[in-house]
Amino acid sequence: MTSGGVRAGGGPKPNPLSAASQERGATRVLPAAGYRGDVPDFPIPGARPRDLELWAWAWRTPQAAAWAAEPWRHYEVALWCRAATDCERPNPSQAAQSGVRSLSDRIGLSEQGMRFIGWKIANEEPAAAAGRTATTSTRSSSRARMTVLADDADGDARSA
């Protein structure tokens, strides 16, 4: 059993309504339709055809919208493509399979990885949301929703 260190999926799930989650910062919402920008060149020399197929697929996922703004992740995405190609061959090693899972977490392709990084895929496209009337209120922390009750002359609490 390994010990120490932060792991994707470790600890309780974040609660967007809690004050602690709000202090950590907002979740980055990714477009449900995926990334529509240019696909960068594959950064690892000697790319195989299947590496390039996975690379093209990965750059159409919602996560690619974040990768485009974070170029330091491009190499790790390419490593994931290479490792995933290796795992598609007959009898991949356990180490190779574990590596693909780890890279999936680090680049946000897995659900655990997205949660760990702080990404969320939008439920609907922004254009559809803009067409609705704004009737929903923003939620606040439980502390902000509390009401202070004043005591009456007898010392009993009155309702607000």
Task: Identify whether the C-beta of residue 83 lies closer than 8 Å to the C-beta of residue 94.
Answer: no
pLDDT tens, 41-78? Answer: 999 999 999 999 999 999 999 999 999 999 999 999 99
Q: Which two tokens stand for residue 40?
A: 């960068």
Q: Residue 29's Cα: distance from chain center in Å?
A: 8
**pLDDT computed for residue 10 by the predictor:** 61
Residue 50, helix vs strand vs coil: helix
**pLDDT computed for residue 160 by the predictor:** 53
| Distance of alpha carbon 48 from alpha carbon 153, whole angstroms | 81
How many CB atoms lie under 10 A from the CB of residue 61? 19
pTM of the model: 0.65
**pLDDT computed for residue 42 by the predictor:** 97
| Distance of alpha carbon 159 from alpha carbon 147, whole angstroms | 9
Please report which residue ranges of the chain form alpha helices under DSSP H.
Answer: 19-24, 49-58, 63-69, 74-87, 94-107, 111-117, 126-131
Closest CA to 120 of 25, 58, 30: 30
Regions in the chain scoring below 70 on pLDDT? 1-26, 124-160
